[in-house]
Amino acid sequence: MMKIVETLPNISEGKNKELINRIKDLSENFDKIWFISCKSDEYFNRSFISVVGELNQIETFLFEMVKICVENIDLRNHSGYHPRIGAVDVIPIVPLISTTFDEADNLVKRLAKKISESFELPIYLYEKSARNEYRRNINTLRKGEFEFLTKKMSFPEWEPDFGPNHPHPTAGATIMGVRDFLISLEFHINTLDRWLAEQIKQEISLSLPASVFLERKQNGKFSLTLNAKEGDVSLYLLYSKVKTIIEHFGSEIEKVSLPSPLTGKLFLQSFKNLIGNLDGELFTIEEKLLTESQITKIKYISNEEK
């Protein structure tokens, strides 16, 4: 039975397409890893990557990915709107299929030890892997960002979980841990008024267990990106509540986009919440295929290579 996890590394680079392509090409070296998506944002100067694969292959892939980033990203020359403490800022691990928390957490700790020793890169554990309650929240770990990391790490309470007690000179530090699946939705709204957009953001923040980010797009209008844990709110409730708040302020949703992909099971669960009396086991065809078979990628071979 294949054990499947998702990893969503956030890389502090949103402009260098060649670097992102190297990471995508790296995934092609593995027969049980699938590069799902990458959203690069020049304003944030950050790339949000989604990769799904077999437990052990993900571990090897992530180590090689960190190596590429440590060698090619220099935070001393980096600026962007999104807070960060590392070249590879965060590596979340999300158990998807046939993988327990303990299995995912063991992967995190093995990988954190290997990365910290190989690159002299300090590692902080967060979310479900955190050893201290005050380190569970990623925003706490990011306070002060890369620029104040040396001073922050001089305090005993900010000694890293793995690696040296000082930042890597160019790659800073990395945050790793097992977390719940994250629902991420971006609502594009039809207003040019920043004050109004800020009011909508504030009301959503007070009404839902979600992190909310406001961004002005190139057309001058605004978008609101929401990140919420799957266990805290359903997809249906998240969408309907945000729609109600936006319309309450006299605005409309022009479109909704997905910054990172969602699972089919999430939509099934949302459908169950919507109709209220869905009976039986909830699963998707894709989940059954992955659980009960050993699917691997088929690499296309051109005529020139034959």
Cβ contact 22:49 at 8 Å: no
Cα gap 240→262, rounded to integer Å: 17
Given the residues 82, 168, 188, 248, select the one marked as catalytic: 82
82 counts as catalytic: yes
Distance of CA 84 to the CA centre of its chain: 13
Instruction: DSSP letter for 77, please.
Output: G
Cα gap 139→89, rounded to integer Å: 12
**SS3 readout for 42-73:** CCCCEEEEEEEEEHHHHHHHHHHHHHHHHHHC
Q: 3-state class of 113 per DSSP?
A: helix
Q: 3-state class of 263 per DSSP?
A: coil
Tokens matching residue 25? 């090409």
- Report the relative pairing of strands 4-7 and 46-54 from DSSP bridges: antiparallel
Instruction: DSSP letter for 28, please.
Output: T
Cα gap 87→109, rounded to integer Å: 19
Cα gap 239→246, rounded to integer Å: 11
Catalytic positions, written as ranges: 82
